[in-house]
Structure 1
């Protein structure tokens, strides 16, 4: 890939990010959801299946303890459900 094409690609990615950041800020005010909480909801919706906190950690590039801290308010608001994995009870499953 040549340098001008890389630069143009980067500019497009930054523009998309700034657009999304503005939308995230609007959602944060309207629904009282942080960008990190919105990201977790997006990951769950995009995968359309239950994910473990470890999978969310890998997909979101967060430490597992950060994921667990972010999940708690989402569960309290009733936006997600956290259940025990039926095969391995010590593991959790997270679903919208």
Structure 2
């Protein structure tokens, strides 16, 4: 491939992906903000909803955060009564994070924020085959960049949603 074409392709992809991310992030901020949360806190509640009792390391891997970020986020959320830390029964060096009843109630309320996500409205207007093809590309890229554990989390929790296990 011509070096200019490689540069052009990278330029286009990086800017389009960044633009899409910024639009989604802005929508997510509005939805989370209505509940007094940040998007990261809302995301952490969802992760714990599906993987309650995760370690700080597991949360950092699923959430794509640095462990120190997870530690400070968990500390703030614990002060607000949304999560609790418990020492692992098998290994006292490990702390497990659990969602509280208050956190679970707030997580359920986040479903009402779907109206903020303009992406959902746009996807509903698109051809299903185009969405399927685009999703396959995203899966492939994310699997290569973040690894199979991340994809396993996405797939298993998506199945839980379809099986109504998340209620």
Cα displacement string for residues 4-50 of structure 1 (whole angstroms, at most 9, x for unaligned residues): xxxxxx89xx49x846742542331x332111111111111123x31
Match of 2:89 in 1: 86
**Secondary structure of residue in 2 paired with 1:31:** coil
The answer to whether the Cα contact below 8 Å between 2:56 and 2:71 also exists between their aligned partners in 1 is: yes
* CA deviation after TM superposition for structure 1 residue 70, in Å: 0.8
Structure 2: stretches of 5+ with no match in the other structure: 1-15, 100-167
1:26 matches 2:51: no
Q: In the superposition, relative to structure 1, how do residues 89 and 80 fare at CA in structure 2: closer, same or farther (>3 Å)? A: same
CA distance in 1, matches of 2:84, 2:44: 13
Higher helix proportion: 2
CA contact (8 A) 1:53 1:67 kept: yes
Are 1:24 and 1:38, in contact at CA under 8 Å, matched by a contact in 2? no
Partners of 2:47 and 2:90 lie apart in 1 by 23
**Aligned: 1:77 with 2:80:** yes
Larger Rg: 2
